[in-house]
Amino acid sequence: MKILIVEDEKSLSDAMVNYLTEEDFICETAYDYESSVEKVELYEYDCALIDINLPDGNGLDLIRLIKKRNKNMGIIIISARNSLDNRIEGLEIGADYYLTKPFHLTELNAQLRSIHRRINFEGNNQIVINEIKILPDAHQVYVDDKLLKLTKKEYELMQFFAANRNKVITKTGIAEHLWGDYMEVADNYDFIYGHMKNLRKKLLDKGCRDYIKTIYGVGYKFDTTIEN
């Protein structure tokens, strides 16, 4: 799950990045309104954590902008304001949750995973695609009830395919979703080919059908259509 953290208090931002990265989230940061607008206009995110009080703007205006661009993107407000009016306004314009500072990072983690299930798995605790079963909270993938031993990136790739099954996904889209800002330093996509090859082999070795299709010159498609 790829997250944008919009928080001008760097110590809090760093704490969230460190904790959420350990929990297998991809985190990018912005410390003011202007840079956060630039981020959401250039890149795709599953969820944004937004402070209302920004040095050069209002976090509520950022939420309005995001919802016009991507209605399905998750939003969690993190704010020192604890007024009922702020809570109601934030939720009415599209936020999923409102966390008042200080808050527990474990609570933030739970809310992010709830949003993740809503966005990618229709709120379910598991997703079943033919012989494949994915348990998002446990980070596990099964083929015909046989557990796959996947690396962290292989699991994230599998989950990304499941959430976008039967859609063509570009190599750039895969790189940005799985590596965030770090993909900008890569001069090619060889690392994607390697993860793709390993994931496909592990699926096939467990008896799974070959759903991963290469769309030459574009990217890949996780095609789950069953031919009669």
pLDDT tens sequence for the chain (228 residues): 889 999 999 999 999 999 999 888 889 999 999 999 999 988 888 899 999 989 999 999 999 999 988 778 899 999 887 777 888 888 899 899 999 998 999 999 989 988 887 877 666 678 889 999 998 878 899 999 999 999 988 998 998 898 888 999 988 888 887 777 655 545 567 778 888 999 999 999 999 999 999 998 888 999 998 653
CATH of 127-222, one of 3.40.50.300, 1.10.10.10, 1.10.10.410, 1.20.1250.20: 1.10.10.10
pTM above 0.75, yes or no: no
Which of 59, 82, 84 lies closest to 4, judged by CA? 59
CATH of 2-121, one of 2.160.20.10, 3.40.50.300, 3.40.50.2000, 3.40.50.2300: 3.40.50.2300
Alpha carbon distance 154, 211 (integer Å):
15
CB-based contact 57:27 (threshold 8 Å): no
Q: Output the DSSP codes for 159-228.
A: HHHHHTTTSEEEHHHHHHHHHGGGGGG-SSSHHHHHHHHHHHHHHHHTT----EEEETTTEEEE--PPP-
Paired tokens of 128: 């079943």
Q: Which sequence spans correspond to the domains of the chain?
A: 2-121, 127-222
pLDDT at 123: 61
